[in-house]
Amino acid sequence: MLVGDVTESVLLSKILPLLDQGGGALLGPGDDAAIVASPDGRTVISMDTLVEDHDFRLLRPNGFHTTGYDVGWKSAAQNLSDINAMGGSATSLVVSLTLPPQTRVDWVEDCARGLAAAIRDLGAAGCAVVGGDLGAGAQLVITAAVTGTLGGRPPVLRSGAQEGDVVAVAGTLGRAAAGLAILEDGRPVGEFGPLGEELVAAQLRPCPPLAAGPAAAAAGARAMLDISDGLVRDAGRIATASGAGLDLDPEVLREYAARLAPAAEQLGEDPMDWVLGGGEDHGLLAAFPRNALLPPGFTAVGSMVSGKPLVTLASRPTALRGWDHFAH
Amino acid sequence: MLVGDVTESVLLSKILPLLDQGGGALLGPGDDAAIVASPDGRTVISMDTLVEDHDFRLLRPNGFHTTGYDVGWKSAAQNLSDINAMGGSATSLVVSLTLPPQTRVDWVEDCARGLAAAIRDLGAAGCAVVGGDLGAGAQLVITAAVTGTLGGRPPVLRSGAQEGDVVAVAGTLGRAAAGLAILEDGRPVGEFGPLGEELVAAQLRPCPPLAAGPAAAAAGARAMLDISDGLVRDAGRIATASGAGLDLDPEVLREYAARLAPAAEQLGEDPMDWVLGGGEDHGLLAAFPRNALLPPGFTAVGSMVSGKPLVTLASRPTALRGWDHFAH
């Protein structure tokens, strides 16, 4: 059955049962708008879009299919990550699907299952899909907006890091980029063994560390963001916003790279490029006061230093840049 | 200059100054997420998408251009209308633009101006564009999510109407549909005179009556929605959700139709079809207790009646249906 064969209300009736209506929803789908609890009188809000052939490919030359489940998962994950990066917890998602009429209805159902699974498996228990929009288009586009609560705490911005702060990472680095390199290589994923499967999964279904954001806020993090465009580029955003240098420790980062080495070797790549430049793992990068106890899941990878608001690697310039949607 | 010639951050730097950052924003664009005030501890949220060649046409066979301003306006208007329909006031918009690389940068700037103008001119003073997403795609897609506040009142749902209630409309009926008919006719819009220009404007830049939603809630409206898919279809939603019949008064509706008559005559159409079946004016349809004083801007157009949850016209069945995105 194709999307073009059914009405919008039939499609909705297939999707809604797959989406849990718990969490912070005071009123779920079905009216002109939904209502979400904002217990401390503030609402954190963000939005992210995934576009077919730009952010995902439904079918690759090597025969690899990206499933609806993958796309739904990734949409939820990258949105939940933005709330995490403020030190908050997600309370709701609204999701717009633009679907070519030839899209299979079961692909859309699978997408709803992926949304629900990401919310559940990433531990965003307070979050529900409370609404959205369904429409037709030439290209598959999924846009989600996410709301969250700060639980009475101040938000952790990009701008608060101070000279001397410890810079730490939660979550993985470079794995999603390695997975993308494998997908784009053209060889069957199986040739990259179990590590290859894991890296591809990291690209398709990223796992932002959702407990780490609120924990960092509670531990006194002074600046934080999620690493969506690559460590160096996102570190540069903290440096710029905070008006201080950010020096990364290549020794620690080499440990992240070492875990990617077998795949890098098969592809003839330097795994440090993935660690420094790869986005989409949606880990967190945060600056903590020097004497703060790092919360569970965080690893120190550098420090804030005096001087220009630039990112350095053992005090040397870096020349990497991350992803730009239009020019790259 | 085309979107494909500039980086995402250059494009952002051109758009952001065009968007007012006032309203309920506690933190505007620039971090991983924005923060909006939710003074009564609840947030109303909704989302709507416009897709090129489905919801708007950039260039029509008769040479008529839809501007970025129009698309931005309409996106804001239809989202603001969803908050209005709950009896709330909008506090923020987040907007995702998916842009073909050959889109002109000034088209995008114009779109931002249209968003800002709709917020300002429709009277949504408490609302600001606080964030969003920019990305590339084959087709122009604009998705906005809107948040709002209920100002301490309960929301007005679709489900509360009771037998004997007065059913009333705020805003216009059938004008946007008439405008679309003119645009699709193929003749230059000028041939339809000043009325034609007004009707086309109603299609391109709808003006939901944003003061009327909170006024209706304050006046004790028991059910409400915005008329986005046509009067009969949307009335059917109140009837179904409330479990009562909804009888419309054709005499009153003929007055709405009479204002469209000259354009209908030129097109060989029955203007009552636009009044009964046309959506996109984003007026409000609400049910009030029989003795309630209707707030300014509302006109009684019918009543809730006993019997099956169907819409009737002077007690006779209606056979019209509104817009469906996939099957129509």
pLDDT digits over A75-123, tens only?
999 999 999 999 999 999 999 999 999 999 999 999 999 999 999 999 9
The number of beta carbons lying within 10 Å of the beta carbon of residue B12 is 14
Structure-token pair, residue B1: 């200059």
pLDDT, residue B251, reads: 97
For residue range A301-328, list pLDDT tens digits in order: 999 999 999 999 999 988 754 445 454 3
Please check the confidence at residue A127 and state whether its pLDDT lies above 60.
yes
For residue A92, give the chain B residue with the closest CA. Answer: B45
Q: Looking at this predicted complex, what is its ipTM? A: 0.94
Asked if residue B93 has pLDDT above 50, the reply is: yes
> Where are the CATH 3.90.650.10 domain residues in chain B?
166-317
The reply to whether A41 touches chain B by the CB within 8 Å rule is yes
- B226 in contact with chain A, both atoms CB, cutoff 8 A: yes
Q: How many Cβ pairs within 8 Å bridge chains A and B? A: 239
Percent above pLDDT 90 for chain A: 91
3-state secondary structure B194-222: HHHHHHHHHHHCCCCCCCHHHHHHHCCCC
Question: What CATH fold (topology level) applies to the domain A166-317?
Answer: Phosphoribosyl-aminoimidazole Synthetase; Chain A, domain 2 (3.90.650)
What pLDDT sits at residue B64? 87
Q: Under a CB-based contact definition with an 8 Å cutoff, are residues A2 and A104 in contact?
A: yes
Place of tokens 């469906």: B324
pLDDT in tens, A219-252: 999 999 999 999 999 999 999 999 999 999 999 9
- Residue range B121-128: average pLDDT? 95
Instruction: Please check whether residue B162 touches A, CB under 8 A.
Output: no
**Residue B149 confidence (pLDDT) above 50:** yes
Between β-strands A298-305 and A245-248, what pairing exists: parallel, antiparallel or unpaired? antiparallel
Residue B219 predicted with pLDDT over 60: yes
Average pLDDT estimate for A121-133: 95
List CB contacts (< 8 A) between A57 and chain B.
Answer: none
Mutation target to probe the A interface, by most A beta carbons within 10 A, among B7, B14, B15, B31 is B31
Beta bridge partners of B59: B65
pLDDT at B35 over 60: yes
Domain ranges in chain A with CATH number 3.30.1330.10 = 3-149
Question: Domain spanning B3-149: which superfamily?
Answer: PurM-like, N-terminal domain (3.30.1330.10)
pLDDT reading at A24 higher than 60: yes
285-314 in chain A: CB under 8 A from chain B: none
